[in-house]
Amino acid sequence: MSISDKDFEQLRDFIYNLCGMYFHSTKKYFLESRLARRMEATGSKTHMEYYQLLKSIRGNEELKFLMDEITTNETYFFRNIPQLNALETKLLPEIVETKNKMGFRKLRIWSAASSSGEEAYTMAMILLEKRNTLLKDWIIEIVGTDINETVIAQAKEGVYNAYSVRNIPDLYKRKYIREDNGLFGLFVLAPEVKKFVTFNKLNLYDDNKMIFMKTFDIIFCANVLIYFDTASKSKVVQHFYNNLQPYGYFFVGQSESLHGVNDKFKTVHFPGGFTYKK
């Protein structure tokens, strides 16, 4: 069933208000096909009927199923190009300048919810490229954390399929990955990239551990907070805020919003996106 503009807007607003994820109009057909599956599973005949179900007492449970359908759990290298451009063009040079003035030549980056490691390793490649220029003689620490031990093991292994590596620019591809000789279609990360990154298990709900994740310059947490209710989201985001250096930046996913979650962060806008500044 094709979704009317009115139903689409209603569902979009509902999802946005609940999860902080905005469905662009260009995603209408995607949403439509994913909704179709859930409507069938729940026996809803119209979008309106399904919307009523979401708003009902049973809605919370159904919402989890819907979120599973509409968030693709995929991740890949160089995923958010506008973010990476902003970091390279402006944010990173600014952080480096600030820390240089303090004589503190160490950069700390955290990929919270690092999954199989693509985001953390993307940063490692970008920073590695600046080892002879901007980051000469700097110490670089990149930390990836996830709640899931299986993906942490994958991240530590550093072997990826063609889909994961498809967006890596040629310059980086040539230098930092090579096709595995034994296993066709798999790509192995260069040891020099891996050595900058450590992966650990961490539950973002675990207050006792969260308070020890200190002094980061940049934190990424993409497409995870959308699963949390507002109260938990506020708490976790407050941890991120506390864990950042005074000049640090916090990045969320491409269509995410922290509006109403934390009023201390300030939005900094750049072509194709925005970030939160402490």
Q: Map the footprint of another protein across residues 40-99, applying CB under 8 A.
A: 86, 89-90
Nearest residue (CB) to another protein, 167 versus 257: 257
Cross-strand bridge partners of residue 276: 250, 267
Find the binder of another protein among 69, 257, 262, 278 (CB under 8 A). Answer: 257
The distance from CA 112 to its chain's CA centroid, rounded to whole angstroms, is 8
Using the CB atoms, write b or e for 74-85: b if 16+ within 10 Å: ebbbbbbeebbe
Find the binder of another protein among 48, 135, 147, 268 (CB under 8 A). Answer: 268
Helices and strands in the chain: count of H runs, count of E runs: 13, 10
Give the DSSP H/E element, type plus range, for residue 107: strand 106-112
Span of 44-52, 175-183, 201-209, 260-268 interacting with another protein by CB under 8 A = 260-268
Nearest residue (CB) to another protein, 24 versus 58: 24
Residue 8 Cβ, how far from another protein at the closest point, in Å?
11
Structural tokens at position 79: 């995923």
Nearest residue (CB) to another protein, 245 versus 257: 257
How are the residues of the chain apportioned to helix, strand and coil, as percentages rounded to the nearest 5? 45, 20, 35
**Using rule CB under 8 A, residue 24 touches another protein:** yes
Residues that bind another protein (CB under 8 A): 16, 22, 24-26, 86, 89-90, 255-260, 266-274, 277
